[in-house]
Homo-oligomer: A and B are copies of this chain.
């Protein structure tokens, strides 16, 4: 250490202290909007970002029409363990339909679904997935599918939390969605889940209208039934909205780069990278599931919601990593 270095270090400490104080002050002004977030680096980063991009005349100001925020759904807005909600839906559908298909008892991937043997299901690969999609998600009109999905979401309950899946949503993230909208952001869901599976609930649960939901999709076919036009859902994948598919679909459907992006797994890594690569101030945030007591704890080794490479990139690039355990006061909304 040279004689010169001590004052320099003190200067840096002063700046750090000033930033911290300033950050806290800015956060305090709007902190009521995020009551379920504990004070700390994550909350500060969010409030400071929003404060800077909305400060008219400031160096980081962004016009309202460019304030696009994209949120992953599974594991970011609602619970994805012990299985994706849509996989629970698919399982329920297979069980409902099994009496019409006695052969499923001895045919994979159906046998695996009926017996809860997810390894057998996984072993059936993409071909198996398409067979499951065909049997449970296709062969009906879009209107019929909406009713089936709505009915499941209205009646099914999470095995650990014993409440509807639509109430297994993270209260701090609901507050964050509302906080961003109150600051002129247009909030989008960009999920690997099926777009038509999510739409029946996103407006009521998240305040996100159907036209701001992007997801995986099957192809549909316009045809006539009893003289009326319908859209039949085909057993054919149109898009998988995961990993590289996320920025590709954001570009195709929104046509603007997000200003802020929120995820929780390696499936969100490309969306956050694409967001970060835009000019000016951006916010990239990962929800880290580290609360085994109130929810689940999983990351690098998880089969569902694996968070590994994206976590490394978050650490190396200074993206916000939210500790559910430390940053969140509450997990779910109060029971109805």
Over the window 118-144 of chain A, the binary record of Cβ atoms lying under 8 Å from chain B Cβ atoms (1 yes, 0 no) is 000000000000000000000000100
Interface residues of A, CB < 8 Å — how many? 34
Q: Which residue of B lies closest to A219 (CB)?
A: B248
CB distance from A17 to the nearest CB of B (A): 34
Query: Is A217 among interface residues, defined by CB-CB distance under 8 A?
Result: yes
CB distance from A319 to the nearest CB of B (A): 14
Which of B220, B221, B251 is close to A252, meaning CB atoms less than 8 Å apart?
B220
Residues from 207 to 228 in A contacting B, C-beta threshold 8 Å: 209-211, 213, 217, 219-222, 228
Query: Is A196 among interface residues, defined by CB-CB distance under 8 A?
Result: yes
Residue of A186, A231, A238 with highest tally of chain B CB at under 10 A = A231
Given contacts A219-B248, A231-B251, 18 further A-B contacts (CB under 8 A): A65-B209, A142-B251, A195-B252, A195-B255, A210-B256, A211-B254, A211-B256, A213-B255, A220-B248, A220-B251, A221-B244, A221-B248, A222-B247, A222-B248, A229-B247, A229-B277, A231-B248, A253-B253
21 intermolecular pairs with C-beta atoms under 8 Å apart: A65-B203, A186-B211, A195-B255, A199-B255, A211-B253, A211-B254, A211-B256, A213-B255, A219-B248, A220-B248, A220-B252, A221-B248, A222-B244, A222-B270, A222-B274, A228-B277, A229-B247, A229-B270, A229-B274, A231-B248, A253-B253
Residues of A within 8 A of B (CB): 65, 68, 142, 186, 195-196, 199, 203, 209-211, 213, 217, 219-222, 228-229, 231, 238, 244, 247-248, 251-256, 270, 273-274, 277
